[in-house]
Amino acid sequence: MPGTVKEALAPAKTEQYQRQILSKIHDVRQGLSARRAAEFVQRPEEPLDFGDWCQKSHDEWLFVNQNRLETAQLRELEAALRRLDRGTFGICEGCGEPISEKRLEAVPWAKFCIPCYERARLEEEE
């Protein structure tokens, strides 16, 4: 089994990834705020026509689906922080090889290297 990334990465790099992940967590949590949810489900006091109700229903559907995606991303981000704490950050969960630094720069919460990620995506589509 390859060594942990804490051994391979400089502490400054580890801190940089941690800061990026924490910043993204903050952004996602802002998007999931109760105040934002209230704006979408709030009912106006004046009656709406059928077209307005359809548009409102569509907007709420979009919000719910966006919320679902953001919640899933939040779980991925929190899992990345746990990998940082355990010292397994940057190790592919598919093959056990190090994830390229270029990939981690783009997606610091990545848990798969590119080949394993592509393989997992293809399996999901089947």
Summarised one tens digit per residue, pLDDT across range 67-76 is 889 999 999 9
Query: What are 30's two structure tokens?
Result: 């802002």
117 with 54: CB under 8 angstroms?
Answer: no
pLDDT digit string, tens, across residues 19-65: 999 999 999 988 777 666 666 666 656 667 888 778 777 877 888 88
Q: Two tokens at 61?
A: 């559907």
pTM of the model: 0.74
- C-beta of residue 41 within 8 angstroms of C-beta of residue 60: yes
CB 21 within 8 A of CB 73: no
